[in-house]
Structures are given as structure tokens and as C-alpha cells.
């Protein structure tokens, strides 16, 4: 996307909600403008986030449980 396209895109979506965040990476400041244009299926996005978190929790807890079994010799 060239600069002209970015400005045209911003103009097209100027009435959509916008969120601005500032990030610092290696001492350099970056400003990110997010425009919410409603092109994503929010149900799918939230479902994907929930599934990923659940899998992470299960995998993380199982690896800790296995460590506990190995070190204690007892299965609780």
C-alpha cells in the first residue's frame, strides 16, 4: 500500500471508531492507529481467542502436572 492509498483508506473510514496506541521498541517510539471497520466476524474472533487460551491453559497445566508427578513419585 503506498502513501496515497493509506490516506484514501483513512478518509474512507474516518467515521469508524479509532484507537491509538504508542509503543516503544528498542528506544524508538511507534504510534499505531487502529480503525474498526467491522469487516471481521466477531463471533469467530472471540471463539478463536477462547480456544487458544483454553489450549494454552491445558497444555501449560498438564506440563506442570507431569513435572509434579515425576518429582514426587505420587499421582494425585
pLDDT at residue 42 in the model: 80
* CA quadruple 50, 55, 58, 60: dihedral, nearest 10: -110
CA–CA distances in Å: residue 64 to residues 25, 35, 53, 60, 76:
32, 40, 16, 6, 13
pLDDT at residue 13 in the model: 79
First to last CA, the chain: 57
- What pTM does this model have? 0.38
List the domain boundaries for the chain.
1-36, 40-76
b vs e for 44-56, b when ≥16 Cβ sit within 10 Å of the residue's Cβ?
eeeeeeeeeeeee
pLDDT at residue 16 in the model: 84
Question: Which regions in the chain score pLDDT beneath 50?
Answer: 69, 72-76
pLDDT at residue 35 in the model: 74
Q: What is the pLDDT of residues 41-51, one digit of tens each?
A: 888 888 999 99
pLDDT at residue 66 in the model: 52
Amino acid at each position: 500500500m503506498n502513501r496515497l492509498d493509506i490516506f484514501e483508506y483513512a478518509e474512507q473510514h474516518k467515521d469508524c471508531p479509532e484507537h491509538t496506541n504508542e509503543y516503544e521498541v528498542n528506544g524508538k517510539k511507534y504510534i499505531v492507529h487502529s480503525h474498526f471497520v467491522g469487516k471481521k466476524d466477531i463471533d469467530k474472533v472471540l471463539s478463536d481467542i477462547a480456544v487458544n487460551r483454553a489450549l494454552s491453559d491445558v497444555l501449560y497445566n498438564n506440563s506442570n502436572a507431569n513435572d509434579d508427578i515425576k518429582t514426587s513419585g505420587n499421582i494425585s
